[in-house]
Structure 1
């Protein structure tokens, strides 16, 4: 059943400063794959799209409310000073849409403090000013976070089954002729991933037993790491507990891989060194290679999925990004 207020009207209203409580500067709007983000000077408001994705259904307003509160709860673990509240978008008696206390609720938004973008890790890498000292701060923040988490998995067979399933998914998705990716390269990478997973079975079993598999951040990329005061890690993957449940070496490896992709491989090494010093956790290098190749395939699959949407279909960035990630995966899985 269609909602009474169409999403286009909500977005149009939220582009206007008068939709927000208190004084607001001209509103900047960013559209992402799953949300609209409205930047109003000191604050940020995120409106989830009323759409269905793999594993996520936000078509109904009550589900968008649920995932707004999940986003608030989960992100307060790593960025408590950033995530402020969930607020209602309401329609008053004159039909105006505003954030506030008066009128009928028509949707929900996550309300955040706005962070200066120049202090995110990706911007610092781009500027050539990211250092190992920055990564030591990140490692300390993550070590404290992981220490406070309970083990999230007691059976390594479950983890291995999930990883095998996902490798099969990557191969099927990335080999589709419509995407014009090198199918032989995809098949070779996926075959080596399966072999590496088998080789790492005992190491994985030991890490599961040691409580190294936790419900973590789930999407630990440089653009989500803010290096101001206090340090904050934002944009946790809020819509799937399964995707957030991972080995801490997988999560660290993903951040290190992304730093390498942006041209700063030394930052990943500094991250692992500092984390080992803080926690005593020194993951097997072959396992880290596996995780990084696996994450590169995850990102290649996400990149190529953009081509399903009309607004991205003709953008060459996404096939180029997918090939870039495939090359990283092949590098990690190259025969010794």
Structure 2
């Protein structure tokens, strides 16, 4: 997918005079009770202004009512700033500090020094959210544009989001927003809002296909949305999880600017958040990182079930970005060059939404079995292959621990590796393979697959459903395998040298019928960050 340019950072909006006088005052260095770095930068969006003063940033909400958000009164602006502080302090404690009051007396704005009694409306007032200011080059989008974002940063981001989703709350009220009818209302509103841009930013045929995909999904997958509710996957999420709302500061990734103004945008399926980040990465031309992010998150959470709704939410998030960017075409404050840039960006997002709507229409899905003894490098190869194909990568080690409810970073006891549990693991891998490919994604199953008993059901499934199947057998000399296991740190696998010996004795060679499907890969000399060219040629030729 081609990279899309971001929409313009600043959008001028006409507002009333009290707001303009306050904004003018906030751009004066002597207004602040602390040293200020001049000139004060003023960053605007359609609904707020952020003033960068050096050590601190101040957010001022504009007195606007846009339907999906309402900041039209001072009371509402205070409420939503307090909500923003409440929501963001847990995930970005180094950034968010306090809500401050300013009041207008004798035609001059002042900081309110003491909290006044409730109902005291003697002076006009407004409110500011005070935050610690971090360098703008700490934004993940800035790091991306500067070529400083790495695959390790993407992994760290996925781990952070997985932790956030584990800790964020849910309850009966929040869960009710996962009702299919509530979800559909939000999606259908997007379609109504973009009808005026048909023939301008998207074609009527494209619009109809996206609408039809979304409507069909809503009508035929009603039970999946309800299963997500029953599983507790509707939570108080971020709601706007793209690279402009993420930063690397104080030695860690921080999520900020959670949506506070609209509950249906925040009380959502956790996969809604994941889809936003994936879509943003793919819009920037990094499908490989989108799948690295997805696979890391799914391994941590075990939420492979969420892949069933991922195409729906990917399409939805791309369409929302297209809609918001389309609105810029009507902004009288933008010049023709800016509008043309917005048009190109909107077209790209509409095209991306259409591509997501076609995920289930791809003729041939790929199933890859990674086989080999512990330490053979199959998980490392699988991780890179997952980014290349791209594909969902599922490790048996993660499946095993999620089934037993054992934390991934803790070693399992003997019963975790019993014959009964191993049988459950391989059955789960088969079930997940079916779920993944039928949801529109390629899948890599990463396990020993040392017995014909474990391999044959997957092969039978692929043949019956007419999916492409490749078996990759990773191997290396035993001394290399032992060295790798001895030096392994921080991996979810519990394999050791004793287990390696048992595996080598129990291994069953590939049968005559399996042999044509097998690609043998010697990983003893494989480069850690690159897929072997011979392996790449297999998949490149199969996609011709």
TM-score (normalizing by structure 2): 0.57
Partner of 1:75: 88
Equivalent-residue separation in structure 1 for 2:310 and 2:264 (angstroms): 20
Contact 1:35 1:47 in 2 (8 A): yes
For residues 169-209 of structure 1, give each alpha carbon's deviation from its aligned partner in whole angstroms, at most 9, with x where no partner exists: 22222221587232221121111111123343333222211
For residues 96-143 of structure 1, give each alpha carbon's deviation from its aligned partner in whole angstroms, at most 9, with x where no partner exists: 324352795621011101112212221222222322211222222222
SS at match of 1:6: helix
Partner of 1:21: 33
Please show how residues 190-201 of structure 1 align to structure 2 within 5 Å: 190-201=211-222
Partner of 2:192: 172
Q: Which runs of 5+ in 1 are unaligned?
A: none
1:219 is displaced (CA, Å) by 0.6
SS at match of 1:90: strand
Q: Which runs of 5+ in 2 are unaligned?
A: 1-14, 115-121, 363-544
Partner of 2:19: 7
Partner of 1:45: 58
Please show how residues 104-115 of structure 1 align to structure 2 within 5 Å: 104=123, 106-115=125-134
Considering only CA atoms, is the larger Rg found in Structure 1 or Structure 2?
2
SS at match of 2:304: coil
Matched, 1:275 2:287: no
Change (3 A) 1:156 1:20: closer
Partner of 1:290: 312
1:224 to 224, 245, 270: 245
SS at match of 1:203: helix
2:274 to 252, 263, 280: 252
Equivalent-residue separation in structure 2 for 1:8 and 1:332 (angstroms): 42
1:316 to 325, 337, 340: 340
SS at match of 1:170: helix
Change (3 A) 1:284 1:141: closer
Aligned residues: 333
RMSD over equivalenced CA pairs, Å: 2.5
1:99 to 99, 103, 111: 111
1:168 is displaced (CA, Å) by 2.4
Partner of 1:187: 208
Change (3 A) 1:130 1:52: same
Change (3 A) 1:276 1:321: same
The worse-fitting range, judged by mean Cα deviation, of 171-180 and 189-198 is: 171-180
Equivalent-residue separation in structure 2 for 1:64 and 1:157 (angstroms): 24
For residues 288-312 of structure 1, give each alpha carbon's deviation from its aligned partner in whole angstroms, at most 9, with x where no partner exists: 1111001111111112223343223
1:275 is displaced (CA, Å) by 1.4
The worse-fitting range, judged by mean Cα deviation, of 183-192 and 301-310 is: 301-310
Matched, 1:160 2:180: yes
Equivalent-residue separation in structure 2 for 1:215 and 1:50 (angstroms): 26
Partner of 2:384: none
Matched, 1:333 2:360: no
1:4 is displaced (CA, Å) by 10
Partner of 1:243: 265
Change (3 A) 1:272 1:28: same
TM-score (normalizing by structure 1): 0.91
1:161 is displaced (CA, Å) by 1.0
